[in-house]
């Protein structure tokens, strides 16, 4: 099916022919809504960050910005385009920024994929170590190999000891 409005007709005939045929028409809207970005998934920063990403889709699209599970802003655009979002420097510590697009089509909310970025913000006076991960998977099949990305920051050394513990619940 093509993007936009489509009509699908289902016709059923009985053995007596077309005089006994029944048809149903279905109106289907095909929507493409997604986000892409080449911005690094994690990093250590000491200043504002400009995150470039591209919105793919058409119509009135709302972009949601969520920092550490709290929505910090939205913006509405018409049709897809490249956006530069400026995340202001935060207090020392680790932060997860999630960006998602939504669009309402025929009273149904359509959601894009979620872009997830991890930030460790530091200043000249930072004395605490930080660890963050953008991993966001609650369940996985046994036997599958998973990769858990993480970033560690230690203000006193380039090396940090990390212990991975697996809990069996």
- In this prediction, residue 143 carries a pLDDT of 86
Distance CA 21, CA 42 (A): 60
Going along the chain from its start, the domains and CATH numbers come out as: 1-30 (no CATH), 32-135+145-153 (2.60.40.10)
Give residue 169's pLDDT. Answer: 65
Q: What is the mean pLDDT of each run of 10 residues along the chain (169 residues)?
A: 78 73 80 93 96 94 97 94 96 96 92 96 91 83 86 87 80
pLDDT at 17: 65
Q: Is the pTM of this model over 0.85?
A: no
pLDDT of residue 26: 83
Residue 20 CB contacts under 8 Å (≥ 6 apart), including other chains: 13, 14
Phi/psi class of residue 161: alpha, beta or left (left: φ > 0; alpha: ψ in -120 to 50)? beta
Residue 55: beta bridge partners? 35
Nearby residues of 142 by Cβ (< 8 Å), 6 or more positions away: none
Query: Any residues with CB less than 8 A from the CB of 52 and at least 6 apart, and which?
Result: 37, 38, 39, 82, 83, 84
Which residues are 116's β-sheet partners?
98
Q: What is the pLDDT of residue 72?
A: 97
* pLDDT for res 70: 97
Contact 100, 86 (CB under 8 A): no
């Amino acid at each position: 099916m093509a993007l936009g409005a489509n009509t699908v007709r289902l016709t059923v005939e009985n053995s007596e022919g077309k005089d006994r045929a029944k048809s149903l028409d279905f109106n289907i809207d095909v929507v493409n809504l997604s986000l892409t970005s080449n911005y690094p998934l994690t990093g250590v920063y000491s200043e504002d960050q400009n995150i470039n990403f591209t919105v793919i889709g058409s119509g009135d699209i709302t972009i949601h910005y969520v920092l550490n599970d709290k929505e910090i802003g939205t913006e509405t655009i018409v049709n897809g385009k490249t956006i530069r979002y400026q995340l202001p420097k935060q207090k020392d510590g680790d932060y997860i920024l999630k960006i998602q697009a939504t669009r309402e089509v025929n009273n149904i909310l359509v959601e894009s994929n979620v872009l997830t970025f991890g930030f460790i913000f530091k200043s000249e006076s930072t004395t605490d170590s930080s660890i963050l991960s953008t991993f966001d998977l609650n369940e996985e099949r046994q036997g599958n190999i998973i990769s858990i990305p993480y970033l560690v920051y230690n203000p006193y050394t380039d090396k940090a000891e990390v212990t991975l513990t697996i809990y069996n619940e």
